[in-house]
Amino acid sequence: MPTLLNLKGFKFFFYANEHEPKHVHVMKGEGFAKIELHTMRVVQNCLKPKELKTALSLTKEHQKEFERTWDEWFN
């Protein structure tokens, strides 16, 4: 499970056997979300509204880095 970023209590990662489309999993405490990288679409969400907003902002800020790491891992 490659960890992409630990910041502000959020852990961004993907699993070693992932599938397209490119996405990240985000955990904070007991909450989690799954966000597609290309569209920024929230596929799953169990975060509080404010946490989700922060997770989306951090995902957007680090989107290129996350996509690059995904490509390096799976190619």
DSSP H/E element including 25: strand 23-28
Residue with tokens 């509204």: 49
Mean per-residue pLDDT, 14-27: 95
Q: What is the mean pLDDT of residues 1-27?
A: 95
Q: Is the pLDDT of residue 63 over 90?
A: yes
Determine contact, residues 26/47, Cβ cutoff 8 Å: yes
Q: pTM for the full model?
A: 0.94
| Every domain of the chain and the residues it spans | 3-74
CB of 35 within 8 A of CB of 24?
yes
Helical spans, DSSP H, in the chain: 49-61, 63-74
